[in-house]
Structure 1
């Protein structure tokens, strides 16, 4: 059997009806990725210092 013959019986296009997916409930609103949570934990309390440093670098000597 060739690849074309093998694929002939398989479904092509979208496998779900419009408006319905494999996970109809989807991801809950407000759910955050593990990496996002880890970064937030690392940066907690540092926002002011980071902002100050960014402004400092932005206002640095113009060349």
Structure 2
């Protein structure tokens, strides 16, 4: 079984996928309600794409309950 490669996405793509603003994303991270970012360097971060999609799927599932 081959492991899927990890894809990292930058803030603009996270914002486009989730529909959230930059400040909302960071507020959710501070509240431990959103996947944290991965440091790529001293001033560069990204998010694990699969974690963002999992977060979205959970939000959709939560509204059904």
TM-score by length of 1: 0.27
TM-score by length of 2: 0.27
Higher RCO (CA 8 Å, separation ≥ 6 residues): 2
Query: Which structure shows the bigger proportion of residues in strand conformation?
Result: 2
In our comparison, the structure showing a higher alpha carbon Rg is: 1
